[in-house]
């Protein structure tokens, strides 16, 4: 009996150790167009989707795109970076959101170098609900044209947060960027070197807690360049181009460059 119990204890310990190893998360993971979600998402054994990679990445870590591919929609609930440098890392979705950001109040999320495609029926390319800060850099977001929604980037915070958008093309969406805080939310949004074109609204800011700052950006080819309601603000630094929209509405105010 003693020997049998000893063997059983050893077996249980091995199972616990194996389970702990299976749940271990890496600070950096990888996805590949020829990867497999059964893999550990390492450099030599990459995963196939962002959703699988994020479950195997530590908070504060990075998912890197190894080679071209479409890596699917993902929901982000922690600090993380998803980066595609020199390769096409895309998320193609139909009738849904591309990337959902529902992170914690101290979390920071970065999206860099991604192509997010809505195929004409997508709802939101990137939907931002919570987090301390979100950075969207070097991205192409297009084709989010679902009836009644269809936003390239929808910023709908339920807490105070910052969103920085730079060097992005946001095209052929019902709305390029829509900022509409929920109760208790507040958003400070900075656009720098961003093109918003060929859609319904270039920018739409709603509710008093919305402020969008624009610099070095272009709004063209839309039905309406800029739309606001209530006390929402769209602030220009005087170096933007707003041209060739059916309704060329100006920013609510202009500040000098500092």
- Tell me if 204 sits within 8 A of 179, measured CB to CB: yes
Give the SS3 label for residue 204.
strand
Q: Judging by beta carbons within 10 Å of its beta carbon (0-12, 13-18, 19+), is residue 49 exposed, middle or buried?
A: buried
Rounded Cα distance, 91 and 239, in Å: 32
Predicted confidence (pLDDT) per residue in 120-131, tens digit: 999 999 999 999
In a domain, residue 28? The reply is no
In a domain, residue 6? The reply is no
What local confidence, expressed as pLDDT, does residue 148 receive? 84
What local confidence, expressed as pLDDT, does residue 23 receive? 55
Token code pair at residue 167: 């060097």
In a domain, residue 69? The reply is yes
In a domain, residue 46? The reply is no
* Phi-psi domain of 131 (left: phi exceeds 0; alpha: psi -120 through 50; beta: other): left
Rounded Cα distance, 171 and 202, in Å: 9
- Tell me if 171 sits within 8 A of 193, measured CB to CB: no
Domain that holds residue 181: 58-254
Token code pair at residue 1: 């009996």
Token code pair at residue 164: 């920085």
Instruction: Name every residue whose Cβ is closer than 8 Å to that of residue 116 and which is 6 or more positions away in sequence.
Output: 90, 91, 93, 98, 99, 125, 126, 139, 140, 141, 142
Q: What distances in angstroms separate CA 238 from CA 70, 149, 220, 253, 256, one per listed residue?
A: 38, 30, 16, 9, 7
Predicted confidence (pLDDT) per residue in 213-235, tens digit: 999 999 999 999 999 998 899 99
In a domain, residue 132? The reply is yes
In a domain, residue 137? The reply is yes
Rounded Cα distance, 164 and 150, in Å: 20
Entry pTM = 0.90
Per-position DSSP letters for 109-139, written without gaps between them: EEEESEEEE-TTT-SEEEEEEE-SEEEEES-
Predicted confidence (pLDDT) per residue in 65-122, tens digit: 999 999 999 999 999 999 999 999 999 999 999 999 999 999 999 999 999 999 999 9
Nearest to 66 by CA among 18, 110, 30: 30
Rounded Cα distance, 113 and 142, in Å: 14
- Tell me if 130 sits within 8 A of 157, measured CB to CB: yes
Which CATH number covers residue 164?
2.160.20.10
In a domain, residue 142? The reply is yes
What local confidence, expressed as pLDDT, does residue 257 receive? 87
Count of CB atoms situated within 10 Å of the CB of 132:
16
In a domain, residue 40? The reply is no
* Phi-psi domain of 148 (left: phi exceeds 0; alpha: psi -120 through 50; beta: other): left
Is 80 exceeded by the pLDDT of residue 22?
A: no
Number of domains in the chain: 1
């Amino acid at each position: 009996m003693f020997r049998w119990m000893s063997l059983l204890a050893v077996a249980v310990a091995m199972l616990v150790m194996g389970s702990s190893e299976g749940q271990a998360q890496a600070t950096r993971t990888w996805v590949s167009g020829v990867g497999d979600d059964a893999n550990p998402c390492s450099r030599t054994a990459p995963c196939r989707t962002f959703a699988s990679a994020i479950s195997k990445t530590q908070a504060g870590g990075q998912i890197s795109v190894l080679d071209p591919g479409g890596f699917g929609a993902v929901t982000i609930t922690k600090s993380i970076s998803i980066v595609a440098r020199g390769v096409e890392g895309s998320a193609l979705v139909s009738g849904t959101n591309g990337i959902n950001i529902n992170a914690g109040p101290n979390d920071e999320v970065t999206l860099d170098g991604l192509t997010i495609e809505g195929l004409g029926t997508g709802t939101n390319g990137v939907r931002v609900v919570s987090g301390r800060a979100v950075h969207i850099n070097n991205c192409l977001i297009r084709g989010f044209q679902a009836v009644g929604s269809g936003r390239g980037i929808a910023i709908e915070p339920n807490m105070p947060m910052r969103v920085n958008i730079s060097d992005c093309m946001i095209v052929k969406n019902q709305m390029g960027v829509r900022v509409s805080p929920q109760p208790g939310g507040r958003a400070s949004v900075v656009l720098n070197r961003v093109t918003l074109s060929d859609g319904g609204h270039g920018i739409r800011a709603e509710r008093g807690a919305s402020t969008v700052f624009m610099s070095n950006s272009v709004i063209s080819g839309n039905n309406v360049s800029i739309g606001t309601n209530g006390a929402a603000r769209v602030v220009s630094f005087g170096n933007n181009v707003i041209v060739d929209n059916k309704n060329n509405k100006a920013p609510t105010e202009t500040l000098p460059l500092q």
